[in-house]
Structure 1
Amino acid sequence: MDYAILTGFVLVTGVVLALVAQWKGWRPSLLVILAVGIGFRVLIMTTSAIDTWQPVDFLNSFKPAGEAILNREDPVLGSKGGWHFLPTIPYVYGLLLWLGIPWEFAGRLVTVVADIVLIPLVGKLAGSPRASLRAFQYACNPLAILVASVHGQVEPVALVFGVAAFVVARGPGNPERQGMKSHLFSRARQSVSALGVRGAAQQAVHQAITPGPGDRANLRRAVLAGLLMGLALCAKSWPIWLIPGMLLLLPTFRARAVAFVATGVLPVFFLVTLPIFAGTSISQIPEVIRVIQDIRPIVGEWGYSAILVGGDWTLHSGIATFGTRLIYVTLLVVAFVWRRADPVDLTTALLLAFMVVTPRLGAQYLLWFMPFLIARPTRFAWPAIIGTSLWAGYGYLYMTQFDSDTWWALHSVWAQCSIVLLPILVLAMPWDRRVFKAPAERSHPTPRDTVPASIASTSS
């Protein structure tokens, strides 16, 4: 990378501004927030686009997907599996290439625009009175700048629709909401005791499908939230972990059912219209689905898998299978423990837990939890943000200065060092917010209003 020093300076400046904003209690205007966020991202996008180093997948996977659209070819098959998601983003790539924009700019323009839109959405997710502070802190987030402006990875596109779905599902009113309510379980037990299992089930179904006050407005929110979450799934498959939190933010069973169905509409639409918009033959669709579903068992980049294989990328089905099962078990446990928490806290816990137990991870994955953790920070939020940003920045900025052999030697150490971040990510989970408490029930400020422990005493 030719502009590593400039990029590093911008990233450090962002961290300093974010921490000072917390310490001083800044509440900048939206215009100032967007000016900072756009300035950082456009500057780094420009230097990255003219750099002699370009990310391998950015050139060899994403670009062929956009070119395939121009050539009326399927983006999944045309990129030889380099693009293994739905064709939604390749359509945008193809349009920008058709307009004559050089790929080095066009590919990053998609992610930079999405990440800029995400800035005010993080403020909306946080809610007043700290909305502007949280939006400013995301505008300064170093990992977001790296992923969107340097790597051109599509995580910001998935996140902008996923976070928008949360904001829409929550609707107006107090931004803090309870997840699953404990009284529902006691009411269910009483119904079963009084009516029997069958009678209680019939009563529950009747109550669920019977319209209530404000039902029409709730259903409108549910449809829009579901469609937005569907667009997130059109970008990548991982936003499936956001669906539980979105559903819990909706007020009724009817609204949740409608949102769940609406979530699948656009992914199905983009799949079945491949023959119309992408030139995919009907006979090729099963092969496209197979490639999209196929997850290669690449391990060795992160956490315990890096320790097991010495920090080298490798295909290891045993570790990958174990890790996948560990993910499912862990997330089920986390979902149960945080079931009564604010749905944003539940989502933060799920995403952080995923990072801890996953056997395969690219640095861009670490952006998944950033909007949620910044919107509702915990005591160890900033150690997690800074730690993961330092780890990713080392890979993006320092390791790219060397030839292939030196890069591989550095990669081995870099990957294994990620194990140090796992306990920090565990600590950053919202442990003291496992059960929602209304603001009136709190006897002291919540840890989400703090920064790292080193300056916590001055930030309240």
Structure 2
Amino acid sequence: MDYAVLTGIVLVAGVILALVAQWRDWRPPLIVAVLVGVVVRVLIMYTSAIDSWQPVDFMESFKPAGEAVLRGQDPVLASEGGWHFLPTIPYVYGILLWFGIPWEYAGRLVTVVADIALIPLVAKLAGGPKASLRALQYALSPLAVLIAAVHGQVEPVALVFGVAAFVVARGPGAPERAGMVTDVAAKVRRGVAVYGVRASIPRVIGRGGMLHRALLPGPGDLAVLKRGALAGLLMGLALCAKSWPIWLIPGMLLLLPNLRSRVAAMFTTGLVPLFFLATLPIFAGTSLNQIPAVINTIRDIRPIVGEYGWTPWFTNGDWALRPDLASFGTNLIYLCVVAAILIWRRADPIDMTTAILLVFMVVTPRLGAQYLLWFMPFLIARPTRFAWPAIIAVSLWSGYGYLYMTQFDVNEWWHLHSLWSRASIVLLPILALAMPWERRDATASGLAPAVGSTAGAKITSPA
């Protein structure tokens, strides 16, 4: 990488400025935060585009997908599995290439624009008097700059729609909310204890029962349904960029005020990916008999481990096809995510989402540096005690890979990779500490929102 020193200076200066802003409690106008983010990202995008080093997947996976759209071919099949998501982003790649923009700029333009749009969204996600401070800190986030402007990875695109879904789902009112405020399981258990199992079933699912009452229209029902449908539409677009935003869905649903709006959100969330899949023959030139092959390619995730976390210690720090480790780690993810949902079910849904994403980072068997951006908007918007140690730690680890290791030839790179990947295990306890442990129950901190209400609770704001 030719401009590693310049990039490193910009990133370190950004971290220092973000920490000083936290210390001095700077609250600049939002437009200032956005302009800072634009300047930083455009500068690094320019130096990365003219650099002699380009990320392998950026050139050999993303570029063929965009070129396939330009030729009227299916981007999943024509890229030979290099692109194994829905074709939404390759459509944008194809349009930019059609305008004659060189790929080194076009591919990064998509992610840089998305990451700039995330800056005001982080402010909206944070809410309250420190919203513009959080926007400035995200604008200066070194990992966001590396992923969007250097690597051109599509995480910012998934995040911009996912965070927007949270903002829409929360709606008007106080920025702090409680999660689950009604213990449905406890109500069912009490009903069984009092009335017995047979008599309790109609009280839960029968006419006039708990479920029936929850599905009845209430005051302002149309507006709430529209809010749920729009939040789901945005989340569906996030899933069209990548599949991982599925972990954001529980938090989005808890931010919606009632069951009807959650049903509407789930419907539109699923509808958007189906639309892009069903329209492949129209927009991507995919024949009907190729669609099963496209689905299989999207579903196929090779069990490559050894990049990050605990698995490199089983592979000597190299990539390896280890179905046993991948399977164990995947099951561990499911178990830990369910545990996080249960533990943080009464927390602010943003805090619950932060916990879900961080626990994923702690236990996952496979990860690229870009994955570490997933939790960044949520953790910056509602920082915890160890938020900045975690942000700095993952930025240092990722920056070493992007800026230092790219200075060497292939053999030296693999040697450094074996050390770098195993060193990532140090990140795991820091990420665990950064989880919102002190904010597990928002209902204990103030008034919880009433069932079916759009009003937010008055809860202690994060540090």
1:191-210 deviations in Å (ceiling 9; x for gaps): 44345123322202211221
Correspondence 1:196 to 2:200: yes
Alpha-carbon distance in 1 for matches of 2:297, 2:183 = 45
Give me the TM-score of the superposition, normalised by structure 1.
0.95
Query: In the alignment, is residue 421 of structure 1 matched against residue 427 of structure 2?
Result: yes
Equivalent pair of 1:379/1:448 in contact (CA under 8 Å): no
- Please say if residues 41 and 149 of structure 1, whose CA atoms lie closer than 8 Å, have aligned partners that are also in contact: yes
Q: Which residue of 1 aligns with 2:462?
A: 448
1:54-96 residue CA offsets vs partner (Å, 9 max, x unmatched): 0000000000000000111100000000000000000000000
User: Following superposition of structure 1 onto structure 2, how do residues 282-293 of structure 1 map, counting pairs within 5 Å?
Assistant: 282-293=288-299
Query: In the alignment, what sits opposite 1:103?
Result: 103
Matched, 1:304 2:310: yes
- Tell me which stretches of 4 or more aligned residues in structure 1 moved more than 6 Å: none
Secondary structure at the aligned position of 1:41 is classed as helix
In the alignment, the residues of structure 1 paired with residue 446 and residue 346 of structure 2 have an alpha-carbon distance, to the nearest angstrom, of 17
Q: Which residue is 2:21 aligned to?
A: 21
Q: Distance in 2 between matches of 1:80 and 1:357?
A: 30
Which string of whole-angstrom CA distances, capped at 9 and with x for unpartnered residues, describes residues 335-378 of structure 1?
A: 11111111000000000000000010000000000000001000
With the length of structure 2 as denominator, give the TM-score of the two structures: 0.94
Aligned to 1:245, the other structure's residue is in SS state helix
For residues 13-33 of structure 1, the C-alpha deviation after alignment (integer angstroms, 9 at most, x for no partner) is 110111011100100011211
CA distance in 1, matches of 2:154, 2:200: 50
SS at match of 2:462: helix
Aligned partner letter, 2:67: E
Alignment-mate amino acid for residue 377 of structure 2: P
Paired amino acid for 1:291: T
Cα offset, 1:309, TM superposition: 0.7
Candidates 228, 234, 253, aligned match of 1:222: 228
Find the counterpart in structure 2 of residue 150 from structure 1.
150
| Equivalent pair of 1:223/1:259 in contact (CA under 8 Å) | yes
Q: Distance in 1 between matches of 2:213 and 2:170?
A: 22
Q: Which residue of 2 aligns with 1:43?
A: 43
Aligned to 2:450: none
Indicate the SS of the match to 1:118: helix
Q: What does residue range 225-240 of structure 1 map to in structure 2 within 5 Å? A: 225-240=231-246
Cα distance in 2 for residues equivalent to 1:324 and 1:355: 12
Equivalent residue for 2:275, pick from 269, 272, 292: 269
Q: Give the corresponding residue for 1:455.
A: none
In structure 1, the residue matched to 2:455 is: none
Q: How far did residue 40 of structure 1 move?
A: 0.3
Answer yes or no: is the 8 Å Cα contact 2:111–2:156 preserved in 1. Answer: yes
Q: What amino acid does structure 2 have at the position aligned with 1:293?
A: R
- In structure 2, what residue type is equivalent to 1:146? L
**Number of aligned residue pairs:** 447
| 1:214 Cα offset (Å) | 1.7
Query: Which residue is 1:181 aligned to?
Result: 181
Identity %: 69
Please name the residue that 1:458 is paired with. Answer: none
Q: Which runs of 5+ in 2 are unaligned?
A: 448-458
More displaced stretch, 306-315 vs 140-149? 306-315
Counterpart residue identity of residue 160, structure 1: V
Other structure's SS at 2:133 match: helix
Does the CA-based 8 Å contact 1:378-1:447 persist in structure 2?
A: no
The amino acid across from 2:55 in the alignment is P
**Preserved contact between residue 379 and residue 447 of structure 1 (Cα < 8 Å):** no
Distance 1:197 1:403 in 2: 67
